[in-house]
Structures are given as C-alpha cells and as structure tokens.
Amino acid sequence: MSERKKKAIENYKNHVVRARVREYERYGVVFVPGKREGVWIWDVDNEIRLLNCRSSGGVFNLGHCPQKPTQALKKALEYLDIGDHMLLSEYRANLAKRLADLTPNALEYVMFGASGGEIIDFSLKLARGYTNRKEIISIKGGYHGHTGLALAAGSPRFNKKFGGSPPEFKKVPFNDIEALEKTISEKTAAVIMETIPVPGGVLIPKDGYLKQVRKLCDEYGTVMILDEVQAGLGRTGRLWAFEEWNVVPDVLVLGKGLSGGVYPITAAIYTEELQSIFDDDPFIHMSSFGGAELGCVASMAMLDELATEEFLSHVREMGAIFSKGLAELKNKYDHAIVDVRQRGLLIGIEFPTEEMGRGMTGALAMNGVLANHCGNKEDTSIIMPPLIIQEDEVKFVLNAIDNAVNFLTTNLNG
Ligand SMILES: Cc1ncc(COP(=O)(O)O)c(C=O)c1O
C-alpha cells in the first residue's frame, strides 16, 4: 500500500469517522477512490479498478466526470459564482422552467436545495404549510435523508439514536393500501414515499397501488410527495419512474444526479396550488446554496444529455440485457437468488439471508464491481450502474454476479 493511501486511511480514521474504516476492513474492501472516468473508478494506488454499480445512488447517472456538465461548469466558473439566493436569478428561473416543461403540466413551480434531505424537508414543510396539518405518513423501511423532517420520515435504524420519530410521523408498509387507508385522515398533511423504495429493498409498486395512494390523498386533501432522488432522471428507462403507473404527485423530489455529479443541487417540483404558502411571506423558506447558479448551469448541461428519447432508449436497451442475464442466473442459482426486481437500470437482487446480501458486497468487489446491499433490507443487493453503461460492461457485471454468487454459495454453505 502506498504512503498516500495509508495517509488517507489514517486521516479518515482519526478525523472523519473511525468506525467506517473498521467496517470496510471487516468487508475486506478498503478502497480509497482515486482516478474516475465513465463507469470506472480506480483505487488511489491504481491497483484496483471497479465498475461502479453504486453510482452513489444515481449521482453518477452520466458516469464519472461527464463531459457536458464538466465543460459547462468549467466555462461558467470564468464569469459566474453561486449567486445570491435572495435575489431573482436568471439561472434558477430558466432551470425551473425547464424542469416544469419536462414534468406533467400540474408540476409548475420549483424550489432548489443543496441536498436531498434539505429538499425533502422543504417538501414536508410545503405540505404542512399548505394543509395547516402536522401528520406525515411515510413507508416502513423508506429513506429520505438525514436532516430533521426527512430523518423523522425514515427508518428507526437512522433516527432512534437521535430522539426517534415524533408521534405525528406514521409509517405504513409499502404496497399495502389497506394499511394506508387505516392510517390516513383529515389530520394528514402528506404521504411521502419513494416511487420505488431503493434502500427498502428496490420494491416495485403493485399495479394500481400508486393510483390508490393518489385517490386517498385526494379524498383527504393530503399532499402526495414522490421521492425520485434515486429512481428519477432516467434510471428506470423513463424520465420519471412514476410515469409507468400513470399518477402525478403534488410534489416530485429530485436530487443526486441533477447536476451530473459535478455540483450539489436538488429540487422539489410542485403544483401552483401549493405555491400559495409563499403568498403572505415569500421569504419563509430559503437556502444560501440551494440552486446555486453554477449548479444550475451544470444541471442544464446534464439535462441536454439525459432528457432525450435516444438516451432513455439506451437505458431500456441495457436494462433488457441485464434482465435476460439475470433471468439466466436466477435459473442457475434458483436456491440462492430469491427474487430479481428491476426497472431499467435499477435492479435489486434478493438473497435468502442478510448474511448473503452483505456478503455479495465484498464478493462483487473481489470481482471488479462496486455495489451495495440495501440499507433497510440487507438481503438485497442493489445494482445501479451509470446509465451510460455499454453492452460489454453489462456483461462484465453479469459475470461478476455469477462469480460472486458461486463463491458465496460454496463458501457460506460449507
Ligand atoms: C430516496 C432518497 N431520498 C433522499 C435522499 C437524501 O439525499 P441526500 O443524501 O442528498 O441528503 C437519499 C439519499 O441517498 C435517497 O436515496
């Protein structure tokens, strides 16, 4: 190991989060990212090269250091900075209009943030401000970030050490419309869920489920918030995951890949009706870095590349190759692969035990693939490559999954 890598690990251990280093050592993956390009990421020592199937949850939808957003950002740095968030902004306004144009008609207004948690907090504030109610219903095992309201709407794993979730935050299982029916009332400000809960297990909505959620929200005057921080922006082969189920939320939340991984920027796109919360006081929600003008420039360039039919059809094509290969692997390892849940390049592979799900993370790394198991359902591996992945690279990942499952079934069983 080089001095550079040793120093990075020591500094991380002594000054960032020491237990993380211990955790990675336990998995046998002490990887310090160095060079990165396209779907690949190298260790600082250049000895390990991994195909990034984490994509940091969608941050790297366009791969690492994508050309268009990077060039746009570099150019903008010659004449622009982040801007003053209290003033009007040409860059925020133009990006807001573009996002409104790319989403269904009902979604017209945009608030920007610098992180997913922040913009989820804004969306929940929006619902509370509009309805004048406090109660929030979210999904058991759902995930929306680590800030105040977002954390409270998430799982106990992440909030129990910090005071837990207040009683006005209720949780229901995903795909269980009866549970929602029993919980929702005139007191409910918002129902929030990921269109496809990823950390909860890459769960696919049952036919009709999201429509029934929409109907219940309409019945009770409750705001429906869909979090597409991971599932949106082309990941499923459609620009927005919710399109498949023919529903339109009142608020759509985007994050992660919104700038192509070169600038932190997130957004909530919402209806004109909800905008009325600003009528009395237009400054009741602000963010110094939210929608930074430099980020808006990068985001526009990202959309130039991603929001095209050609790009989305590439995602579907690569998804189909995965689908065929994974069906073959499921046949081959019928006892070890319990389920494959997939939409486009968002894939969850469920194994019989959490031990195996966790084991896959290390075994895949040994086979050249960076992936993760679900944070709230550890028996499931998430395969989320950059959307620019090519056919030979999909085959590389399928081969790595084959080897990893083979290795684990041999070693865990015996
Ligand atoms: C579905 C979902 N929502 C919200 C967030 C929070 O985003 P951030 O980490 O930018 O705060 C995440 C982050 O992983 C996420 O996966």
Q: How many percent of the chain have pLDDT more than 90?
A: 97
209 has pLDDT over 60: yes
What is the reported pTM?
0.97
The Å distance, Cα 119 to ligand 1 centre, comes to 9
CB of 116 closer than 6 A to ligand 1?
Answer: yes
The Å distance, Cα 59 to ligand 1 centre, comes to 10
Kindly give the number of the ligand 1 atom that is closest to the alpha carbon of 117.
11
The string of pLDDT tens digits covering residues 54-79 is 999 999 999 999 999 999 999 999 99
CB of 230 closer than 6 A to ligand 1?
Answer: yes
Q: What is the pLDDT of residue 396?
A: 98
Q: How many percent of the chain have pLDDT more than 70?
A: 100
Residues of the chain with CATH 3.40.640.10: 67-306
42 has pLDDT over 80: yes
The string of pLDDT tens digits covering residues 348-366 is 999 999 999 999 999 999 9
| CB burial string 268-290: b at 16+ within 10 A, e below | bbbbeebeebeeeeeeebebebb
Reported confidence tier of residue 391, pLDDT bands at 50, 70, 90: very high
Label residue 36 exposed, middle or buried (CB < 10 Å: 0-12, 13-18, 19+): middle
Q: Which fold has domain 67-306?
A: Aspartate Aminotransferase; domain 2 (3.40.640)
CB of 121 closer than 6 A to ligand 1?
Answer: no
Whose structure tokens read 């003053």?
84
The string of pLDDT tens digits covering residues 164-207 is 999 999 999 999 999 999 999 999 999 999 999 999 999 999 99
Q: What is the pLDDT of residue 413?
A: 61
CB of 376 closer than 6 A to ligand 1?
Answer: no
283 has pLDDT over 70: yes
CA distances from 397 to 24, 128, 317, 390 (A): 21, 44, 15, 11
Q: What is the pLDDT of residue 414?
A: 46
CB of 197 closer than 6 A to ligand 1?
Answer: no
Helices 18-27 and 3-15, packing angle to 10 deg? 130
Q: Whose CA is nearest to atom 13 of ligand 1?
A: 145
The string of pLDDT tens digits covering residues 84-129 is 999 999 999 999 999 999 999 999 999 999 999 999 999 999 999 9
